Amino acid sequence: MSDDVWILGINMTKFGKHPDLDTVDLAAAAARDAIADAGVSMGDMGILAAGNLMGAGLGIGQALQKQIGQTGIPVYNVSNACATGATALRTAIMAIKAGECDFGLAVGVEKLAGAGLLAGGSRGDTKSEWTPKGRYGAVAPVDGRIGTDTMPGVFAQIGMEYGHKYGGTSFELFARISEKNHAHSTLNPLAAYSKRMTLDEIMNDMMIAYPNTRPMCSANCDGAAAAVVVSGTKLKTLSQEQQRRAVKVAASILTTDPWQESCQILPDVNTLTRNAATQAYEAAGIGPEDLDLVELHDCFATAELVHYDNLMLCEPGGAVDFFESGATWRDGSMPVNVSGGLESKGHPIAATGIANVWEVCHHLRGEAGDRQIENAKVGLAHVIGLGSACGVHILERAA
C-alpha cells in the first residue's frame, strides 16, 4: 500500500457558457491539460474516475476515453450530488493507496448554463389528508408543507436557523459575505463572473429565497476540472520540477448523514460537514488554526456562514463574529473563497469538488497570480451535496 498520495497535475476550464462544447469536449479539455500539467501521458494512468451528475447514466468515463485515449484501464463513473468531483478524486486516491496503480486521473464535468433552480420539487396535490406510502413509509413529502426541496429554499432555512440559534445574523450580513466573494472574483480569470458588486446591488437584486438574492446564489454554468494523482513512491522517481510542484493530499474524507430523526425530513448539512472536518484534521495531523486558506461550498451566502462553524474555523456559534473580524477576506487571517466561490466562480456541479482543490493547489504552488495568498503552505477544500455527502481534502505544499 502506498504511504501517501500527491496531486501531480491539475486544471480547470473557464467556467461559464460554452455553447459550442458538449460535456465530453469540456471533460477532455480539462483532462488533457491536467495530464500536461503533470508532465505525464494518458498511457501512464492506471485508473480513471469521471464525475458527472446530470447525465449520470451515460458512461461519461468511457466517452471521455474515446477522446483522450482508450488504454483499457478501469473506469469509475461517479455521481454523488455536489460532492461528485470530490468523490471522483477520492476514488483515484483510494486506488493509489490500495497499491493498484501509481497514477490516477479524476475528472468532473457538467453542462448547466441556463439550468435554472435545481431540485425544484412540487407538492403535487391539494388534498387535506395524506396516506403513508412508498419507501419512506410515514415520512411525507415536505415541499410546500414545512419547507422546500429547492436548493435556495433549503439553504435559506439553514442560514435562518443558525441566526435563530446564535443571533447576530441579518439580511445585510449575508449580503456582505456575497460582497466579499464577488470582490475576490475580480482576480480570477477563470471565474464565470468576475464583477465586483456593491452591497446595494446585491441586496436590491432579485430575491430568490430570503435572505438570498440572485448574486448570493451559486451560478449555474458549464465547466470541467481534472486532477492527476501519483503515489509518493513513484513521485520520487520523477523530475525535481515535478516533485517541487506536487501537492500532498494530507487528508481525503467523505461522509454522509449519520441517522437522526430530523434528517429524515430535511437535510442536515452541519453534522456530516463537522464530522468530515474532524476526521480530516485528525488524518492530516493539524488543526483549523494551521490552515492558510479555505475553499468551501458557498452554494449560497447563508451556506458559507454556517460552514465557518462546521469546519471549525471559529468557536461553535461564533461564525458571525468570525466574519465580522475580516478574517475571511483575501488579506485576512483565514482567507475563504479567494477564487470568488461558487457565487462568482460558478457551480458546474460535478466539476466543483476538483475546482476547489485546483484553487488551493495553485496557492500552495505559488501560481495563483494576483490573488496569491503569500507563503501558503496548507489549505482545505470542502464540498457538500444534498442527499447528503460531504468531501473534505486537506492539501500541503511540497517540502
Contact 26, 109 (CB under 8 A): yes
d(CA 275, CA 305) in angstroms, rounded, equals 17
Decide if 347 is catalytic. Answer: yes
In the set 297, 307, 347, 382, the catalytic residue is 347
Helix (H) or strand (E) holding 380: strand 378-385
Look up residue 38 and give its three cell numbers.
Answer: 503533470
d(CA 364, CA 361) in angstroms, rounded, equals 5
3-class secondary-structure state, position 350: helix
Angle of helix 23-38 relative to helix 60-68, nearest 10 degrees, comes to 60
In the set 82, 217, 221, 299, the catalytic residue is 82
d(CA 109, CA 115) in angstroms, rounded, equals 15
What is the identity of the amino acid at 18? H
Please list the alpha-helical segments (H only) found in 82-170.
84-97, 151-166
d(CA 198, CA 294) in angstroms, rounded, equals 24
Decide if 82 is catalytic. Answer: yes
Catalytically active residues are 82, 347
